Structure 1
């Protein structure tokens, strides 16, 4: 997904779909719900958690502290539907696209998590890790 901070539209970046856990949801349930809401793709086979990252940043006038889990997900669906976006997403997301690993490795655009291209290359070459790889903390 491509977006920007409504408080600073000049700075843009790419990021993976995701969001918060609601109620008693498991991490897996939250991941599937968020993918469906943000991309319109409900037919996802969720695999194991791959990576874990903490993020600390300012966005939309607030300071955010996030504990993020990244899962392997597979789908045959390529068409996206953004009708499930929240008001904030409608104000801050400018587009969605699929990337190849090679495109991620070549891009000069900002992509979060920062090491996504090399993490994806390792995943494709070696398969999923036995346990989630800690990525540390990324601060804005």
Structure 2
């Protein structure tokens, strides 16, 4: 039987469902970031923003997974050369579908012209059950957002990337998305 999380989640040695994921920080020419808002089917009152992305399929590269997720989740068709990085990595623990999950994430950067209207046409029925909307947000809007944002340091990350990527892959380490993060992690990350 396929778990509620999907068949790309495998039970790891620690007994938690886990997967590798590719995510994309998409910025437009007005320095807005494209985010998805979703909720947990088991906690519909809880809602949060996160970057476009998802699980890496067997035999798929991180870049190919990132491009596929952009196409499926936002209707954005890019080429491998359109991705920069990876610019960020983290090991995230979070609760979803009444389970504690572990996701090893690699983040890329993509710059696109303004005017891309994201579409949910590629969302699966399962995604439609837990994804609510996509929106372009400025850093100021992101900082003012009352809903959770993951990773929690995303406003600082976007701020830094707007000024230009310095070629350093930031490692946020292990983060528990139910606990607050230290914004200084971005500045002290391994290089």
Same fold (TM over 0.5): yes
After TM superposition, the structure 1 = structure 2 runs for residues 110-125 of structure 1, keeping only pairs within 5 Å, are: 110-125=148-163
Shift of 1:58: 1.8
Q: Which digits, 9 at most, give the CA deviation of each residue in 1:78-126, with x for residues without a partner?
A: 111112112221000110001112221232321111000011111222x
Cα distance in 2, alignment partners of residues 93 and 73 from structure 1: 22
Q: TM-score, normalised by structure 2?
A: 0.68
Q: Where does residue 51 of structure 2 map in the other structure?
A: 16
1:57 pairs with 2:94 = yes
1:136 pairs with 2:169 = no
Moved over 3 A (4+): none
| Deviating more after overlay: 63-72 vs 73-82 | 73-82
Could you say what secondary structure the match of 2:137 adopts? coil
Q: Which digits, 9 at most, give the CA deviation of each residue in 1:26-45, with x for residues without a partner?
A: 11111010111111111362
Q: Which runs of 5+ in 2 are unaligned?
A: 1-35, 179-191
Q: Count residues in correspondence.
A: 139
Q: Which runs of 5+ in 1 are unaligned?
A: none
Q: Where does residue 109 of structure 1 map in the other structure?
A: 147
Q: TM-score, normalised by structure 1?
A: 0.91
Shift of 1:23: 2.0
Cα distance in 2, alignment partners of residues 81 and 121 from structure 1: 25
Greater share of residues in helix: 1
Cα distance in 1, alignment partners of residues 159 and 111 from structure 2: 16
Q: Relative contact order: is structure 1 or structure 2 higher (C-alpha 8 Å, sep ≥ 6)?
A: 1
